[in-house]
Structure 1
Amino acid sequence: MTGSPPQVVPDDLPPPARSNARDLSPARLRPRDVLRVGGAGLRTRPLRAVLSALGIAIGIAAMISVVGISTSSRADLDRQLAALGTNLLTVAPGSSLSGGNATLPAESVPMISRIGPVTEVAATGKLPETHVYRHNRIPAAESGGISVLAAHLDLPATVAASIAHGTWLNEATARYPAVVLGNATARRLGIGAAGTDVQVYVGGRWFTVVGILDQVPLAPELDSAALVGWPAATAYLDFDGHATTIYTRAADADVTAVRDVLAATANPQAPNQVKVSRPSDALTARQAADRSFAGLLLGLGAVALLVGGVGVANTMVISVLERRSEIGLRRSLGATRGQVRVQFLAESLLLSALGGIGGVAVGIVVTAGYASTRSMPTVVPGWAMVGGLGATLLIGAVAGLYPAIRAARLSPTEALATP
């Protein structure tokens, strides 16, 4: 009896699948897929996306413009107030215990320069018995109220003095009979220009006029003075080397602290015999302006961001209502609630990013244009640009969260039944 041949079962056949649960699990969205899915809504409705991003961009541009213009205005105000000497302090000898005039130690200037926040320091020393005349035949009593001062070379930089004609003293001329006249001094002596052939009679010697100063608003006492180099004053005019006025500039934030230690630094043995000027009223005004500007920036920035956030939320809610059928179709094809939620949240973030980047760019352009018309420095803080974009993304995420959750909660049948 013949029968069918026995079946040979190969040993290398794979075992039957124990479960198809793994095959039925939804695919995970990679970051690239999230961007593609999130941008689908923007690509399919470009006009609405552009208008929505434009609304966000206007809000961010308004914030950046307000911050930039305000910061530029504050920088211009700071520049003007700095010209008034907001951080300039002066040190002078006071009265001794016996009621006479005290003197500052010769080491006062280098000691003050060692104070950390001090940025610039220079001094002048008055020669009380020395006068300046246009000619040696003028009676000694007719001095014209002109004082003679020994000056450090960095005095102009410290007191913001400029030269009207000629040059300031340098390492060479400070050692020889050379003089720089204050603005009022030059007018009283009838000298309109400096030159090697222009001389004045100072302390019984002829000094060559090498320069004439402009008016010095921060140190008006220099306008009616004749300034000679420190070494020349010692060599030719019997100067004792003691400073009578020390001009000090410090960091704005540390002006008060520097003032508190100046007396003890200038004369450690007798700090009560030192007079120190108080900080300028302009510094107080500058600090008050800074506080006002800070409050203004925070308030306007918050309003602009709130407007942008409302725009994003409104756009995303309308998007969910308009795309219910699309949501139902995706759910029917196997998209999970989480994937739908990620899709709309990614779309909200992309919309916010586009509007934020455009708004920052427009805000910078507006600030630069306004500042150029007002001859102000263009200043757009980095924190405003980064913070504006970051806040836009944060607000976009918060504003898109509710529409995303709402879209994810729609059941496939409910969404597909919506006309």
Structure 2
Amino acid sequence: MSSGLGVLDGGPTAQRGAGERRPPRLAPARLRPRDVLRVGGVGLRTRPLRAFLSALGIAIGIAAMVAVVGISASSRAELDRTLARLGTNLLTVSPGNTLFGGDAQLPTESVAMIGRIGPVRQVAATGLLADARVYRSDLIARGESGGIAARAAGLELRDTVGLEVASGAWLNAATARYPAVVLGATTARRLGIGAAGPDVQVQVGNRWFTVVGILAPAPLAPELDLSALVGWDAAASYLGFDGHPTTVYARTSDTAVEAVRGVLGATANPEAPDEVKVARPSDALAAKQATDEAFTGLLLGLGAVALLVGGVGVANTMVISVLERRPEIGLRRSLGATRGQVRTQFLAESLLLSALGGVGGVLLGSGVTTAYAFSQAWPTVVPVWAVAGGLGATLLIGALAGLYPAIRAARLAPTEALATP
């Protein structure tokens, strides 16, 4: 009696009888990455409309997230560019309230006194002309001034605040002494004035003033947008201005902002420093930016919900695909496909479907960001992390959505699948 060992397909086999051996087992063919993509795309090619609608759900979620992040980033880039151009070293001084709750007043010498502070590079002021109303025509009812304020302005105001003239020119030593006015951006729009000129006049108080200039929007001094600015001397001569400034703008060196801020109140009004309010306009812009970021977080949450809904749509599509393709699954299993290969096929289909939606969503979101930023004259910024995060979230959603249908397809027995009508 003897026994022997045979090696078939890499492993030992025992003799089953005289001259009879166990038939060799054939190893299943391996799916190469190219094969996985091909078989995974079968369902997408055979059912294009369903695949498109499912991918659209993913695309809407990704587009919403990318657009929200991109528009927010573009807005912040514009704000940073504005602050870099205008600076964060501008401080404003205005009167507060007296001890008894009344309106305080800055001394007429406050501008000169602030200018004596060492780190202060530039200083200028405006004075509110409370009794002067601004009208385009003398036929307009006196109570309908549109909220436009008339202000006396120093010649240094343009350089100190960083104002830009959109039309015409800024006040000079000559026009500041005569009935000439420079309109803020909002003021010009409300009065229906598109350009300055010698024939363009508005009524300030009871006198006609020639519009010599129109300002561009002033981010660091938004109160000037809804103002009509006349020269300091002209305001005293024609409109009864008493010379007390209501807002003083001081531009300091970057390293001394907080130090100057601490002494501005006592310098502007030594007799009553507690009746002076000191602020930095850039802080308001920073607060606005923080508010925008909070709102961005809310919109991102809505985008995530849309993405989740898209993932549910992919999962639904994959489950239906498994039910409809049971005969195909059974045939593949009968021809030697393993459970792992079937599972890989449907998981790859789900990932491809989600990836198509993700790429489409990124392109759509980037396009929306570009269009909106262009309309606002902002720099277009689409953060790389938003694109990468969107695609990563897409693949994660696709994997989770396709996992259960893939496992379900792999568990189908060949006979059970082929028996399905």
TM-score, with structure 1 as normaliser:
0.56
The residue aligned with 1:108 is 119
Query: How many angstroms apart in 1 are the aligned matches of 2:153 and 2:308?
Result: 64
Q: 1:90 to 1:315 in 2, by over 3 A?
A: same
Match of 2:391 in 1: 389
Q: Which residue of 2 aligns with 1:304?
A: 306
Shift of 1:361: 3.1
Determine the structure 2 residue equivalent to 1:8: none
Relative to structure 1, the CA distance from residue 165 to residue 74 in structure 2 (aligned partners, 3 Å threshold; closer, same or farther) is closer
Aligned to 2:251: 247
SS of corresponding position for 1:277: strand
Query: Where do 1:241-280 residues align within 5 Å?
Result: 246-247=250-251, 259-263=257-261, 277-280=278-281
Q: Which residue of 2 aligns with 1:345?
A: 347
**Aligned-partner Cα distance in 1 for 2:316–2:359:** 20
In the alignment, is residue 224 of structure 1 matched against residue 231 of structure 2?
Answer: yes
Counterparts of 1:293 and 1:258, CA distance in 2: 33
Deviation at 1:75, TM superposition (A): 6.8
Shift of 1:48: 2.9
- SS of residue matched to 1:306: helix
Aligned residue pairs: how many?
Answer: 310
1:332 Cα deviation from its structure 2 partner: 2.2
- Whole-angstrom distance in 1 between the partners of 2:298 and 2:50: 33
Q: Deviations for 1:250-291, whole angstroms, at most 9, x for unmatched residues?
A: 8xxxxxx9853444799xxx9x98988213484376145314
| Counterpart-to-counterpart distance in 2, 1:165 and 1:262 | 35
The CA deviation at 1:335 is 1.9
Cα 1:314/1:258, change in 2 over 3 Å: farther
Aligned to 2:9: 20
CA distance in 2, matches of 1:392, 1:265: 55
Paired residue type of 2:39 = V
Choose which of 302, 312, 315 in structure 2 pairs with 1:313: 315
Are the equivalent residues in 2 in contact too, given 1:29–1:339 (CA < 8 A)?
Answer: yes
Cα distance in 2, alignment partners of residues 407 and 359 from structure 1: 29
Q: Displacement, 1:364?
A: 4.4
Higher Cα radius of gyration: 1
1:224 aligned partner, one-letter code:
G
Q: 1:47 to 1:164 in 2, by over 3 A?
A: closer
C-alpha separation in 2, matches of 1:395 and 1:249: 52
Shift of 1:302: 1.1
- C-alpha distance in 2, partners of 1:50/1:125? 62
Equivalent position of 1:418 in the other structure: 420
In 2 relative to 1, CA 187–161 (structure 1 residues): closer, same or farther, beyond 3 Å? farther
Distance 1:45 1:148, change over 3 A: closer
Q: Partner residue of 1:90?
A: 91
Question: What is the alpha-carbon distance in structure 2 between the residues aligned to residue 386 and residue 284 of structure 1?
Answer: 28
Structure 2 unaligned residues grouped into runs of 5+: 12-24, 96-108, 127-150, 182-195, 199-211, 234-247
Contact 2:326/2:418 (<8 A) preserved: yes
For 1:195-234, list aligned pairs within 5 A: 214=214, 223-225=230-232
Q: CA deviation at 1:352?
A: 0.8
Q: Is the 8 A contact 2:61 2:306 kept in 1?
A: yes
**Could you tell me the TM-score, scaled by structure 2's length?**
0.56
| Residue of structure 2 equivalent to 1:295 | 297
Cα distance in 2 between the residues matched to 1:146 and 1:40: 75
CA distance in 1, matches of 2:400, 2:314: 9
Alignment RMSD (CA, Å): 5.2
Q: What does the per-residue CA deviation read over 1:125-176, in whole Å, with 9 as the maximum and x for residues that have no partner?
A: 99xxxxxxxxxxxxxxxxxx98876x59xx53743242754579xxxxxxxx
Matches within 5 A, 1:33-72: 33-64=35-66, 71=72
